[in-house]
Every structure is written in C-alpha cells, then in structure tokens.
Amino acid sequence: QKEVEQNSGPLSVPEGAIASLNCTYSDRVSQSFFWYRQYSGKSPELIMSIYSNGDKEDGRFTAQLNKASQYVSLLIRDSQPSDSATYLCAVNQGYIPTFGRGTSLIVHP
Amino acid sequence: DGGITQSPKYLFRKEGQNVTLSCEQNLNHDAMYWYRQDPGQGLRLIYYSQIVNDFQKGDIAEGYSVSREKKESFPLTVTSAQKNPTAFYLCASSSGSLSEQYFGPGTRLTVT
C-alpha cells in the first residue's frame, strides 16, 4: 500500500514568515513529486514539481526532495494571507499519483 | 485557452437516479482521471484512462461507470448503486506517466 503522509495542521504563520510544509512517502521507487494548492471549495492547482534530489525554486516557493529519507517539503517565503489554503503533496511512480490528505496553512496578518 | 472543463458546477439529484458528469479537455493529454473528495478528506481515485477506448478502475469504482470514446472527453456516471454519492467530483488530465495533473473546476453533486 503506497502511502503519502502529511500533517493535517492547521499550520499557522504570521504574514511575512516562512511556511514549511512536509510530506513523507512510503514507495521507494517513486520518481516524481508534486505540490498542489487547493483553496476552500476549489480544485487543486499545481504549484511545484520536483524530480531529483535537492532544491527547486520558483518565486517564493522552494521544493526540497530527499529520496534517501523519502521526504519532500515545500517552503513558502514571505507568506501572504492569500497563501492560506490546503497544500496537497502527490507522489508518482507511474500513471497514478498517490496524494496526501493535505496540510491546511493559515497566514494571519 | 487550454484547460479542462467540467459541467455542471452544481448538480442536485434525487436518490435512485443515475447522473452523468461531464469532463472535457483541450490539452491533448492522453491520460484522464476522476477523483472524489469528501469534506476533510483527500482525493480518492474512481477511474482513470491512459488512452482512448481503455479505462481502469481506481480505489472506489463501485457504483460508478465511465467511457472514453474520444481523447478529449471522459464522462463519469454516478449510478443508483453508489451508496453515498454526495461529494465534490474532480476530473484531471496528464500528458503521461510521471507527469503532473491538471484539474478541472469540479462538480459538486448533492443527492437527497
């Protein structure tokens, strides 16, 4: 059974702080990793993808992957209230990704 | 604009009726997926299709049916056999194995 674990939160951070979201996965042969953002009542939207060990930066977002530890994280710098959402981690080893249940992030002014 | 459309956005049905949810994409993606999301829950895979005229059951296929007659379209039928059909239904597509998924806006189905 492939599993992707995320802390459900909520993770509460002040505006301007760094938010750190974490995800662990069970399937060692997983090859692609994604972070999606889902606002309440809306569908998920892709914000980051990462395929190899290390860091990948895109604007205020940084994805970090450590395959040896089976760990992927998302850092959001200079957090804004508009970043308040649920963040879903997805891990893919073929056509079918396995999603975590998501971490709720609240950025308070 | 390329994207995925789902219709309708909200759907209300009486118990015992079958209902079909539409999903169309113009991204030229081969793979399409249907998920169900319940409040506070993650995404659960209902059906997926890697290619036209072929589809596979996901984790919770009972009470649902699909067809994939065209690359662009992957409709989902919620049958009367589905015991708890009220949920948020999401359609997604991807260009292939290991690729990211793009989601439609979703259909919120309420059955009373």
pLDDT tens figures, B102-111: 999 999 999 9
Per the DSSP assignment, residues forming a β-bridge with A37 are A45, A87
CB A86 within 8 A of CB A26: no
User: Average pLDDT for residues A47-60, to the nearest whole number?
Assistant: 97
User: Average pLDDT for residues B69-82, to the nearest whole number?
Assistant: 96
In 3D, which of B50, B57, B52 has the Cα closest to residue B32? B50
Rounded to whole angstroms, the Cα distance separating B55 from A71 reads 31
The pLDDT assigned to B39 comes to 87
The 8-class DSSP code of residue A88 comes to E
Q: Distance of alpha carbon B75 from its chain centroid, rounded?
A: 7
In 3D, which of A9, A19, A30, A22 has the Cα closest to residue A61? A19
> pLDDT digit string (tens) for A60-87?
999 999 999 999 999 999 999 999 999 9
Mutate to test the interface with B, among A25, A35, A43, A91 (most CBs of B within 10 A): A43
Local confidence band at B40 (pLDDT 50, 70, 90 cut-offs): confident
pLDDT at position B101 over 70: yes
pLDDT at position B1 over 90: no
User: Average pLDDT for residues A40-53, to the nearest whole number?
Assistant: 96
Nearest Cα of chain B lies from the Cα of A13 at a distance, in angstroms, of 21
Q: pLDDT > 70: what percent of chain A?
A: 100
The pLDDT assigned to A1 comes to 72
Q: Which of A32, A43, A92 sits opposite B90 (nearest CB)?
A: A43
Stronger pLDDT, B1 or A85, i.e. the higher one: A85
With contacts defined as CB-CB under 8 Å, which chain A residues touch B105? 42-43
With contacts defined as CB-CB under 8 Å, which chain B residues touch A65? none
pLDDT at position A59 over 70: yes
pLDDT at position B92 over 70: yes
Is A88 close to B42, i.e. CB distance below 8 A? yes
Mutate to test the interface with A, among B103, B107, B108, B110 (most CBs of A within 10 A): B103
DSSP string across A13-75: EETTSPEEEEEEES-TT--EEEEEEE-TTS--EEEEEE-SSEEEEETTEEEEEETTTTEEEEE
Nearest Cα of chain B lies from the Cα of A80 at a distance, in angstroms, of 23
Is A46 close to B100, i.e. CB distance below 8 A? yes
The pLDDT assigned to A2 comes to 79
Rounded to whole angstroms, the Cα distance separating A7 from B4 reads 30
> pLDDT digit string (tens) for B51-60?
999 999 999 9
With contacts defined as CB-CB under 8 Å, which chain B residues touch A31? 98
Rounded to whole angstroms, the Cα distance separating A96 from A106 reads 29
Residues of chain B that touch chain A, judged by Cβ-Cβ distance less than 8 Å: 31, 41-43, 45, 48, 50, 58, 90, 94, 96-106
